[in-house]
Amino acid sequence: MADVRVGTFLTLPGAAAAELLAEPFDVVLIDLEHAALSRRDAQEMTIGAQAAGAQVLVRVPAAARDLITVMLDAGVDGIVLADVADPAVAATAVSWLRHAPDGVRGWGPRRASSRGRRDRATLAQPALWVQIERRGGVAAAEQLAAVDGVEALVVGTADLSFSLGAPLDSGTAEMREAVDQVRRACQAAGVAFGVAGALDTAPRELLADASILLHATDARLAAAAVDAAAARLRELVGAKLSSDLTPNDIK
């Protein structure tokens, strides 16, 4: 299990918050698909999360070339394309991540290159992950995994469950079959296999052989922790707050 990367999605702005929330994880995904975040927010969150030692990728709509370009120059470690079902879309995105002659990415001496203070040859190639979120993506998993430059396929179990006709139910036979199809495609192509969603309630067989596990979001994790703390305090007050209460009682 040492090679498994665990992480979450970041949706709350601020470098300090990103640093705090990213520190326990190996990888975090800044969500520019659903979260109300600006490009400036994403750059600050990248700086904070990287300071905590986490790998930082941003999730973007698959056709958002301008957003991908800006985030690469802002220094993210990679891009996650949301909801991909067409291998041509993935192949095009690969070209956006690479400079000529291997791609069409323009050269910008921004944060990614320490504002021109680093030699281009020393710069790491950004990662490209593809997220599968519907039936079409599952059907195309083998072709997606075979695209040169795609490093991982990640199953988004929430949206996929809607596509499979069982909203937010990750325990159906259809979900198991779909995830297994993606898993086999990754194994055959030698790319990483990942699962994203509410993984604390997902059947264990869905996570088998995954090398990327992305659980929930920072907001959901924070809400759960705060709710649990508040409930525990109310429980103690409801029972009694007496002189024999010790600090261990409120942990």
Instruction: Check: CB of residue 211 under 8 Å from CB of residue 5.
Output: yes
d(CA 29, CA 80) in angstroms, rounded, equals 8
Instruction: Check: CB of residue 55 under 8 Å from CB of residue 36.
Output: no
How many C-beta atoms lie closer than 10 Å to residue 37's C-beta? 19
Q: How distant is the alpha carbon of residue 209 from its chain centre?
A: 17
d(CA 5, CA 247) in angstroms, rounded, equals 35
Written as one letter, the residue type at 143 is Q
Q: Which residue has the tokens 């300090």?
A: 16
d(CA 37, CA 30) in angstroms, rounded, equals 9
Beta bridge partners of 59: 31, 80
- How far is residue 178 from each of residues 168, 200, 201, measured CA to CA in Å? 15, 19, 18
d(CA 158, CA 155) in angstroms, rounded, equals 9
Catalytic site residue 34? yes
Catalytic residue (choose from 16, 34, 115, 167): 34
Helix, strand, coil proportions of the chain in percent (round to 5)? 45, 20, 35
For the chain, the first-to-last Cα distance in angstroms comes to 30
Catalytic residues: 34
